[in-house]
Amino acid sequence: MAKANRIYIPSSGPSAWKQFLAEPEKQWRTGYSARTLAHSWEMSQGLPLEVARMFPNESELLIAIPEHKVALPGGGRESQNDVFALIRHGDLTCASMIEGKVNEPFGPTIGDWMKEASQGKLNRMTYLCDLLGLPVRPEATIRYQLLHRTASAIIEAKRFKTDEAAMFVHSFSPDRMWFQDFAAFVHLLGCSVMPDQPAEVRLPDGMLLRLGWASGDMSFLAA
């Protein structure tokens, strides 16, 4: 596998995000998550307020990288995260993955993803469970995307040697579609969650993992 380029350049605005999408012409549409998220983050000139509220102290965005890919064992497909953000709050630094949503689902369930699973998929699932401190494979109804997005945050927290990791869903859905799927995933990790109220999980190695559902400014749906 070719090594990813590690050189990044400043964004010229929301439209600059389009080029990094897996399917730009399909995904870059008004009212859809990719475009809505880009406008929200660019117009915030830092952290969107609803994401900043996920932290107990005053927070600062250090750097944000759209469509950030994180390699996972057990196959060639990486986890392509909507935004990777290094966030400073108080005296701590947090490696955060942001998953943007409007009405799009979280992709296949674990049951669907593991049908006739290859050895690579079995290896990946074992790795994800170990990283998240899960003693057994999650039930079939849990969304696979939530596992690997959260794992991406933990992997990058270790790589950048930050104090914490976080995975936030930045939702622009008026009806909070798919929140129950997110809540089921958080419950799997041992705690409960409400919209716009962060949850905290202590990982097996002692690192703090923050999880949250941040309700975005729906005016960006028209951007």
Collect all residues with Cβ–Cβ distance below 8 Å to 144 and sequence separation of at least 6: 107, 108, 109, 110, 112, 113
In a domain, 33, yes or no: no
pLDDT the model gives residue 142: 98
Give CA angle at 154 (148, 156), nearest 5°: 100
- The pTM assigned to this predicted structure is 0.96
Percentage of the chain with pLDDT > 90?
A: 94
pLDDT the model gives residue 4: 67
Q: What range defines the domain where residue 154 resides? A: 46-222
CB 82, CB 64: distance < 8 Å: no
pLDDT the model gives residue 6: 82
In a domain, 70, yes or no: yes
Q: What is the pLDDT of residues 65-101, one digit of tens each?
A: 999 999 999 877 899 999 999 999 999 999 999 999 9
Q: What is the pLDDT of residues 33-44, one digit of tens each?
A: 999 999 999 999
Cα–Cα nearest to 38, from 192, 199, 209, 172: 172
**Two structure tokens written together for 214:** 């941040």
In a domain, 101, yes or no: yes
pLDDT the model gives residue 75: 72
pLDDT the model gives residue 103: 95
In a domain, 170, yes or no: yes
In a domain, 214, yes or no: yes
pLDDT the model gives residue 35: 98
In a domain, 113, yes or no: yes
> Mean pLDDT per 10-residue run, the chain (223 residues)?
73 96 95 98 96 97 97 88 98 98 97 96 97 96 98 98 98 97 98 97 97 98 97
pLDDT the model gives residue 74: 86
pLDDT the model gives residue 1: 42
In a domain, 27, yes or no: no
Kindly list the strands in the beta sheet with 79-89, ordered across the sheet, starting from the edge strand earlier in the chain.
Answer: 59-70, 79-89, 92-101, 164-171, 208-215, 199-202
Count of structural domains, the chain: 1
In a domain, 29, yes or no: no
